Structure 1
Amino acid sequence: MFHRPLILAAMLLPAGVALADTSMPFALDWRFEGPAAPYFVAVDQGLFAAEGLSVEVTAGEGSLDAIPKVATGAFPVGFADLNSLIRFLDQNPGAPVIAAMMVYDKPAFAVIGRKSLGVEAPADLMGKVLGAPPPDGAWAQFPIFAAENDLDMDQITIEPVGFPTREPMLAEGKVAAVTGFSFTSFLNTKRLGVDPEDISVILMADHGVDLYGNAVIVNTDFAAANPEAVTGFLRAVAGGWKATAADPEAAIQALSSRNPGMDAALELERLTLAMETNVMTDWVMENGMGNIDPDRLASAVEQIKLTYEFQNEPDTALYFSDAWLPQDGSLSMQ
């Protein structure tokens, strides 16, 4: 009898009128560039709508940008660097935010060098000049990379550079290598006229750095109240990436309607590099998208300690949860 008024109210709805979709605005980490295309594919193909969700994708201003937006509840979901989230949660204990789906299984942190200037492998940095913007995410991880590869930091000349001058200095030979995101710095250097065969991309994840990259993060208060919506969101995200892998050109078309002034060929190349290097890794192809290796995350936390002093005892259960990942096989990228 308690539920009868609700049932009667539903019966009185006019034919064809549906209940409103759950609103789940999504805060990206950066602008509408190639790697953002899968989310617009999910919108355009009705993958979010099929889950009863209304999703608006919003651009961001960096890997830190989405974390406070989600932690404060301004956005229920966002896209952010897991390592930045770990530090945020250490500095803001109890903040209602956690990673719920790994997307960049390999982070894009890299050293980009010129082969003609003698940089092809980590050891080649010894005695060379490395350009590094002080706020750069890859530069922040460089001490971990150096420790894992037995590099003597005293034998590497660090040249602080600005983001706008980083790749031009590499192209002009004023530095032998730079730190940056693999797909961004590679493409920027190539666009400046450097032969791609002369550009070396040393991905830190391939040289001992166990850190993860960007993940879908969720407000835990929202997730507790709307667990099925969060699972549906993650299912749609996986579907967007799978559809993008099947037809990257169509994905770029979905993106171009939101960023009409972009260079479509450049963004297709950026998307392809990110997808092949950072998202569709061997681990993901074998295990599916979204989850993590707990041992690797524990190792990553130990590596973070090399560059960050925790105020509280680290607890990986605070940083990532697989509780909302769909269990219906939709995470398979095969």
Structure 2
Amino acid sequence: MKIARHCSALLLALAASVALLPGAASAQTKLKMVLNWKYEGPQAWFFLAQDKGYFKAEGLDVSIDQGEGSAASIPKVASGAYDVGFGDMSALIDLAAKHPDNAPVATYMLYNVTPFVVAVKKDSPIKTLKDLEGRTVGGPTTDGALKLFPVVAKAAGVDPAKVKITNMAANLREQMLMRGQVDAAFGYTLTVTFAAKAMGIDPDKELRFIDYADYGIDSYSNALFFSKKLIQENPKAVAGFVRALNRAIKEVIADPDAGMEHVMKREPLLKRDVEKEKLVATYSRQMNHPEINKNGFGDVDDARLKRNIDLVVSAGGLNRTPTLEEVFDRRFLPPRSERPANF
């Protein structure tokens, strides 16, 4: 019995010493992630996956930084500053056309409903995109709706030369619109809606939206993407991240209040009720395209993605059209049975 106890003690001591050695089996792959924007409700799944150890269970040590806009996260991953990002698919396509060797690749589609709009005040005489001629429209330089305006203008019979476009910081958009400093503003439906609410504005009573979708624009929005380097050198890490995120998304949708706990831990000054409303609106509206009934959440429809690529190439007057595989890689998706079918 004494010998057995002595052996057990030796084994425990040996295990402890091995765990302290460099390169021990417990070592995890470190990944840096950049978000689409400042901390907010619709990012709950990323924080839950981090806090509840879902990334860790996949052998990943993930750090998550705030972003500066859905388009701004793309070059940050392309430059090597980050391994993974969350941001605008059209911006990713644009970079893939211009710099195919460095552009990141999307692996999991989240915002699959076209979000692009022009926002106007409720009493504005602007009813259609054609009415923007002779008016001033504002938007951040990286805004997806602004970037696609030449394409939607063509579809709507609008002469872009007759529309004055002014750039502003994203956090000033709603303020400048309500003050009449611009006649209309480019943006994403939910972004403008909840920014207005944060200002004490009732968007249902004080704003109207002119949807790009009404003019035939059916683009994807924000996706999860990784650097080409990581995909090539460590595909296991990519698959593990996607698996952990998919697990967290299902959990947050089942219990958004639980998801909000992880958001508020990072930014206690947020208005919890507003951020929860934004979270629920995001997955029920922005992430609920009819195609997921067929493909499952996280995947894309190839024909629709091809139209999205062609749209970006046309809008930017680009000389090169990326292939589907250059912008989206579905190899890392969990099985169809493990991904949500609808919300």
Same-fold call, TM > 0.5? yes
Alignment of 1:181-200 (within 5 A): 181-198=188-205, 199-200=207-208
Shift of 1:67: 2.7
Matched, 1:49 2:49: no
Aligned to 2:5: none
| 1:106-125 matches, cutoff 5 A | 106-119=113-126, 122=129, 125=132
The letter of the residue matching 1:84 is: A
**Partner secondary structure for residue 216 of structure 2:** coil
Structure 2 Cα separation of the partners of residues 21 and 302 of structure 1 = 40
Once residues 57 and 160 of structure 1 are traced to their aligned partners in structure 2, the CA distance between those partners, rounded to angstroms, is 29
Q: CA deviation at 1:162?
A: 4.8
Q: What is the CA–CA distance in structure 1 between the aligned matches of 2:135 and 2:32, rounded to whole Å?
A: 45
Amino acid aligned to 2:286: N
**1:66-122 residue CA offsets vs partner (Å, 9 max, x unmatched):** 333333444322212222122222322322631111111124322122232245554
Deviation at 1:242, TM superposition (A): 1.7
The match for 1:151 is 158
Please tell me whether residue 208 in structure 1 is matched to residue 216 in structure 2. yes
Q: Distance in 1 between matches of 2:79 and 2:172?
A: 35
Output the CA distance in 2 between the equivalents of 1:97 and 1:166: 29
TM-score normalised by structure 2 residue count: 0.82
Give yes or no for the alignment of 1:26 onto 2:33: yes
Q: Which position in structure 2 is the counterpart of 1:6?
A: none
What amino acid is the match of 2:93?
I
Matched, 1:142 2:138: no
Q: Shift of residue 134 of structure 1?
A: 4.3
Q: Which residue of 2 aligns with 1:14?
A: 15
- Please list, as runs of the form range in 1=range in 2, the aligned pairs for 1:1-334 lying within 5 A after superposition: 14=15, 19-95=26-102, 97-119=104-126, 122=129, 125=132, 129-153=136-160, 156=163, 158=165, 161-173=168-180, 175-198=182-205, 199-205=207-213, 207-327=215-335, 329-334=337-342
Identity of aligned residues (%): 33
Deviation at 1:159, TM superposition (A): 5.3
Cα distance in 2 between the residues matched to 1:223 and 1:183: 31
Runs of 5+ unmatched residues, structure 2: 1-12, 20-24
How far did residue 316 of structure 1 move?
2.5
Residues 210 and 303, structure 1, Cα contact 8 Å, conserved in 2: no
Q: Judge which range, 13-22 or 60-69, deviates more.
A: 13-22
> Equivalent residue for 1:7?
none
Q: 1:195-248 CA distances to partner (integer Å, 9 max, x unpaired)?
A: 333322334245411322121111233223322321121111122222222222
Q: Work out the CA distance in 1 between the residues paired with 2:147 and 2:173.
A: 15
1:100–1:321 contact (8 Å) kept in structure 2: yes
RMSD (Å), alpha carbons: 2.9
Summarize the Cα distance change of 1:52–1:168 in structure 2 as closer, same or farther, 3 Å threshold. Answer: same
Gaps of 5+ in 1: 1-11
CA pair 236-131 structure 1, distance change in 2 beyond 3 A: same
**In 2, distance between residues paired with 1:133 and 1:70?**
21
Q: 1:74 & 1:36 partners in 2: Cα distance?
A: 21
Report the TM-score when normalising by structure 1.
Answer: 0.84
Aligned 8 A contact 1:210 1:297 in 2: no
Amino acid across the alignment from 2:120: G
Larger radius of gyration: 2
Cα deviation for residue 156 of structure 1 reads: 4.8
Give the number of the structure whose residues are more often helix, by fraction.
2
C-alpha distance 158-230 of structure 1, shift in aligned 2 (>3 A): closer
Q: Shift in Å at residue 51 of structure 1?
A: 2.1
Q: Could you list the runs of 4 or more consecutive aligned residues of structure 1 that deviate by over 6 angstroms after TM superposition?
A: none
How far, CA to CA, are the matches of 1:189 and 1:87 in structure 2?
Answer: 29
- AA paired with 1:212? Y
Please report how far the alpha carbon of residue 27 of structure 1 lies from its aligned counterpart in structure 2 after TM superposition: 1.9
The answer on whether the counterparts of 1:81 and 1:214 sit within 8 Å (CA) in structure 2 is yes
